[in-house]
Amino acid sequence: MTDNFTFELDEDGIALLTLDLKDRSMNVITMEMMTELESLIDRIAGDDAIKGAVITSGKPTFLAGADLTMLAALSKRAASEPVEKVFEAAFEFNRVFRKIETCGKPFAAALNGLAMGGGLEISLACHHRVVADDPKIQLGLPEVKVGLLPGAGGTQRLVRLMGVQAALPYLLQGRSLSPQEAVGFGVVDAMVPADQLIGEAKKRVLEDKEAVQPWDRKGFKVPGGQGSMNPKVVQVFMASEAMLRKETRDVYPAPQAILSAVYEGHQVPIDAALRIESRYFTSLILRPEAANMIRTLFVNKGEADKLVRRPKDVEKSEIRTLGVLGAGMMGAGIAYVSARAGMEVVLLDTTQDAAARGRSYSVGLLEKDVRRGKTTREKADAVLDRIKATTDYGDLKGVDLIIEAVFEDMGIKADVTGKAEAVIPEGSIFASNTSTLPITELAKASVRPDQFIGIHFFSPVEKMPLVEIIVGKQTNDVALARALDYVKQIRKTPIVVNDSRGFYTSRCFGTYPTEAMAMLSEGVSPALIEHAGLMAGMQVGPLAVADEVSIELAWKVKEAAKAAMGKAYEPSPADEVLDLFVKELGRTGKKSGKGFYDYPEGGKKHLWPGLAEEFPLAENQPSVEDIKKRLLYRQAIEVARCYGEKVVTAPADADVGAIFGWGFAPQTGGPLSLIDTVGVAQFVAECEALADQYGPRYSPPAFLKDMAKADKAFYTAA
């Protein structure tokens, strides 16, 4: 027995290696685990009494892939060590897994649960693979989602089992295989009931007298064809290259590296192919995208999901009954996700019809899930039974938490706050789902402002993963802890920010479409602006985003800011564009059927032709790179200001909130990661140049200049 494996030898001479990492809820690949595995391979290969081995898991999952903190550490090494050393460290996985294939003894993987990334790769290195008959099991290589490629043989062995055409979507998109699909593609040999899994794996080891992988046999050919001269294969790569550029716009380097590794590797013997794969893996580790994506999308998001910002001295709580004030789109979505999480929900509106319509939103979503086989009729009915549509504030008696989701009007919000607090228990927490109104101001209508907090959802609630928790000046730790516990119950990712106008996400997100409007006013081509936004890594073009969110809403936010700030308000070139579209043209966005785009009934949306008349094109158009920089830097500088003003207090929350809240370019790792990658001093210099050309909205704050002088970065400083 080692620290992470148990070793059992049966009477037939089959060794059972059971992986069970201590102090981990899931098995992951660590360097210690790899060292132990290699010693076990050597032991099995050198002992004549051992005929072969079965690798399985002592946990419900088989193996969830590599420890991402280990990969992050490897990425850090790349900044200070020679490339050759980084390559050898990366190749270590391939070296050990290749040892399984060539040790002379047959190995089988008994997949009792999820096998992702390195978990599937260690299975592919085994001579046999058997999976439990469980539809919940997923087998996949998702490394592309963190800016990497499968670096332990995945790009080479999967192709040699499935063929190039079949394997590429699973490699390039990080898609998962079900057990049935894995059997159909020949990725695993058999699917058996869970209680027969180990027996079937041992049987296959006993029957194997050669212990040779198909690709090590003379005359092996990749299924479906191989080589640069095979017409079918050439067509696959040509089409894949075109589709890749269309889907990624060259923003993400990992898919291109995967395609190249498969193209080159599938034509040569496996040992050469594995070195090709490791070279491409190393090239990605040397780039900032992988390190930034791993840190933000997985490490920091994982910490947020575990409630890293939760006050430690407050007892954990569970929301059993939730009150939702306002049954519009946001309130209806909040009711749905809460009822789905097992809570009793009181959904209240001014009329019974309005409340019932809010409940019917859940009906539509659940019916769709039933049709698609995602849930049963009984479970769907149980969720609906937990939502009570009402107009009676008395029904709120006994709720643990209130979430107010009425119109963005201080008077209306104050009215419902008073009515709800008149009946809810003294210990209940009151939260507002406002996206822009200051929580401290809203709390003035409350008789218990210390129990008043902001819980800001994003639309549509059921799809968007982030929730922004806003702490007012009087909000206490109990309210914060309860809000975070609630977000965890509904399985969303929380960030914690301090109160200010627009908070964090709304304030910073708004800079993306308004900067595009400023460019319009300068005579920049709207099509160029939209494509540059996508090529910068944003999920949607900035003018399309303005239409989706509502141009009228942006105008109202602008007007409210002007009224609140008075002489301190700094106008933007976008202000005139907003006034034109809302007050003169009546083009308020997608909901009205016209905005920066036209939305013909039954047709495809397209940029409004009238833009050319309202904003004649300048003779000299900027480059795509210039527009990309302006769009990203304008958002990043606002995020930096929020950090300097302590609206957001942790770089991790800033970056997680940006990517999961408003779709900031994921390949950067988030706005503050982008600044660190550029270099704070360089970013400050470039922003000062932009400020000279386009105005003070690009001016870097004093604290950022101080960081530049001290040669500090956000993450090292934090």
Higher pLDDT, 12 or 243: 12
pLDDT for the residue numbered 676: 97
**Euclidean distance between CA atoms 281 and 74, whole angstroms:** 11
Let me know: does 147 contact 165? Beta carbons within 8 Å. Answer: no
Give CA–CA dist 47/49, Å, rounded.
Answer: 5
**What's phi and psi for 50, nearest 5 deg?**
-100, 120
pLDDT for residue 227: 84
For the chain, the average pLDDT equals: 94
Q: What's the burial of 639, exposed, middle or buried (CB within 10 Å: 0-12/13-18/19+)?
A: buried
Q: Are 656 and 649 in contact, with CB atoms under 8 Å apart?
A: no
Within 68-213, residue ranges assigned H as helices are: 68-77, 83-102, 118-125, 154-162, 164-172, 179-184, 197-207
Residue 282 · residue 81 · CB < 8 Å: no
Stated pTM of the model: 0.90
Instruction: Return d(Cα 281, Cα 151) in angstroms, integer.
Output: 6
Listed residue (10, 126, 7, 147) closest to 63, CA to CA = 126
pLDDT tier for residue 332 given thresholds of 50, 70 and 90: very high
pLDDT band at residue 65 using 50, 70 and 90 as cut-offs: confident
**pLDDT score, position 354:** 97
Tokens representing 325 are 């004030």
Distance (Å, whole) CA 513 – CA 533: 10
Catalytic site residues?
A: 468
The two structure tokens encoding residue 15: 């060794």
Residue 424: pLDDT above 70? yes
pLDDT digits (tens, 9 = 90+) for 75-126: 777 777 888 998 998 999 999 999 999 999 999 999 999 999 999 999 999 9
Strands 128-132 and 14-19: unpaired
Per-residue pLDDT reduced to its tens digit, 382-408:
999 999 999 999 999 999 999 999 988
Angstrom distance (rounded) from CA 500 to CA 436: 8
- Residue 334 above 70 pLDDT? yes
pLDDT digit string, tens, across residues 601-632: 888 999 999 999 999 999 999 999 999 999 99
Q: Contact at 8 Å (CB) between 355 and 391?
A: yes
For residues 362 and 335, the answer to whether their CB atoms sit within 8 Å is yes
Q: How far is CA 67 from the centre of its chain?
A: 17
What is the distance, to the nearest Å, from the Cα of residue 35 to the centroid of all Cα atoms in its chain? 31
Q: pLDDT class for 717, splitting at 50, 70, 90?
A: low
Count of Cβ atoms closer than 10 Å to residue 274 Cβ:
25
Distance CA 446, CA 430 (A): 9
What pLDDT digit, counting tens, does each position of 521-557 carry?
A: 999 999 999 999 999 999 999 999 999 989 998 998 8
Is the backbone peptide bond immediately before 460 cis, with ω within 30 degrees of 0? yes
Q: What is the mean pLDDT of residues 295-304?
A: 93
User: Where residue 316 falls among pLDDT bands split at 50, 70, 90?
Assistant: very high
What pLDDT sits at residue 500? 87
With 90 as the cut, is the pLDDT of residue 174 above it? Answer: yes
What number is the average pLDDT over the span 414-429? 95
Tell me the pairing of strands 14-19 and 52-57. parallel
Helices (H), 580-664: 611-614, 624-644, 651-662
The answer to whether the Cα torsion of 115, 119, 120, 124 is positive or negative is negative
- Over residues 4-35, the pLDDT tens digits come to 999 999 999 999 999 999 888 899 999 999 99
The H-assigned helical ranges of 269-351 are 270-285, 288-293, 301-305, 329-340
| For range 120-149, the mean pLDDT | 95
Domains of the chain, each with CATH number or no CATH: 5-209+217-286 (3.90.226.10), 321-501 (3.40.50.720), 507-646+650-717 (1.10.1040.50)
662 alpha-carbon distance from chain centroid: 12
Confidence band for 409, pLDDT divided at 50, 70 and 90: confident
Contact 549, 408 (CB under 8 A): no
Mean of pLDDT values over 687-709: 96
Residue with tokens 């049966």: 10
Which band of pLDDT confidence, cut at 50, 70 and 90, is reported for residue 449?
very high
Task: Give the list of residues 6+ apart from residue 58 with CB closer than 8 angstroms, or none.
Answer: 6, 18, 19, 20
Average of per-residue pLDDT across 251-260: 93
Burial (0-12, 13-18, 19+ Cβ within 10 Å), 385: exposed
Measure the CA–CA gap between 352 and 356, rounded to whole angstroms.
Answer: 6
What are the C-alpha distances in Å from 521 to residues 95, 571, 573, 611?
58, 14, 7, 10
pLDDT of residue 1: 63
- How much is the pLDDT for 70? 82
User: What is the Cα Rg of the chain in Å?
Assistant: 28
- Cα–Cα distance between 107 and 212 in angstroms, integer? 10
Residue 320: phi, psi to the nearest 5?
A: -95, -40
**What pLDDT score was predicted for residue 228?**
82
Q: Which residues contact 346 (CB under 8 A, 6 or more apart)?
A: 321, 322, 323, 324, 388, 390, 395, 396, 399
Q: State percent of the chain over pLDDT 90.
A: 84
Quickly state the pLDDT bin for 671 (edges 50, 70, 90): very high
418-442: average pLDDT: 94
- Lowest-pLDDT range, 339-348, 370-379, 522-531, 641-650? 370-379
